[in-house]
Amino acid sequence: MWFIRDGCGIACAIVTWFLVLYAEFVVLFVMLIPSRDYVYSVINGLVFNLLAFLALASHCRAMLTDPGAVPKGNATKEFIESLQLKPGQVVYKCPKCCSIKPDRAHHCSVCKRCIRKMDHHCPWVNNCVGENNQKYFVLFTMYIALISLHALIMVGFHFLHCFEEDWTKCSSFSPPTTVILLILLCFEGLLFLIFTSVMFGTQVHSICTDETGIESLQRKKQQRRERRERRGSWKSVKETFGGDFSLNWFNPFSGPRHPKPLSNRDWVRQVSSVSDTENTETTTEEPSEEPKDEDFAEVVDE
């Protein structure tokens, strides 16, 4: 099973669960159960619990799914020879984990692995967001945004309702405790609504433009011209969420269609001009148009 042993990430993941459970507690025991409107309580309770369950399930799936790690230490002489590189073809070797980096893979210093289509490392899910778990991460941000919005609406109704009625009948807790619990929930809801909806928007945008967070940063930093050919946005969305549009897109238990294992072609990259490669006898830095981030790699050339 995939699990990153990173103290900070584990603490953040526990805090995330704690905050969802706190919201669950206030919604159920402060607002819904003491309410005398039975239908209102049952409907809102069901909706809130379903969304909270889906949010936590997505969180687990995002945390425990291998985001697309490249096999460690596969940059052996024998393996590179077996690829039978032609002139103009190179492979990039990660100096940190000694693996061959396929196109769009990046080294994550927290996971200590190269991750395919790495978007960023998210401490809140204690994992990298990459090719295989981006769907769960997007669902996690979406469901957290939805429960935050739902909780805020319910707090609003509760305040309206309780100002009209007697406060003591409004909750089984004392009025000061009730107000403090509700205000804390409001703060939490607002903070998370803003944070997760921005994240959700960014993720959907990056899937639609088929450009990961890292790639977009590199493009802005270097003002590189468009180099990589992008897939169409619909194709990219379908690949991330698994097939044609269906309810399964919103189901954290249904994985994206299992990515095919890398073939020999995926390891090899074409260098545009042959002159680039002529003076790279054994190992050099990456060609200048390649991303120069913390995981600069070596070129092995035949």
Among 128, 129, 146, 300, binds Zn ion (CB under 5 A): 128
Minimum Å distance from CB 8 to Zn ion? 12
Which listed residue (94, 97, 111, 122) is catalytic? 122
Residue placing its CB nearer to Zn ion in the complex, 129 or 147: 129
Smaller CB separation from Zn ion, 128 or 271: 128
- Cα 39 to its chain centre, rounded Å, is 36
- Burial letters 1-34, b for 16+ CB under 10 A, else e: eeebebeebeeebeebeeebeebbebbbebbbeb
H or E stretch at 176: helix 175-208
Residue span binding Zn ion (CB under 5 A) among the ranges 30-38, 106-114, 150-158, 256-264: 106-114
SS3 219: helix
The residues, ordered by sequence, that sit 6+ positions from 63 with a Cβ below 8 Å of its Cβ are 3, 13, 125, 126, 127
Q: Are the beta carbons of 54 and 60 closer than 8 angstroms?
A: no
The answer to whether 122 is a known catalytic residue is: yes
The contact mask relative to Zn ion for 67-96 (x = CB under 5 A, - = no) is: ---------------------------x-x
Binding flag, residue 292, Zn ion (CB under 5 A): no
Task: By CB under 5 A, name the one of 59, 61, 107, 158 that touches Zn ion.
Answer: 107
Q: For residue 121, state whether it binds Zn ion (rule: CB under 5 A).
A: yes
Separation of alpha carbons 119 and 117, rounded Å: 6
Q: Which residues are near Zn ion by CB under 5 A?
A: 94, 96-97, 107-108, 110-111, 114, 121, 128
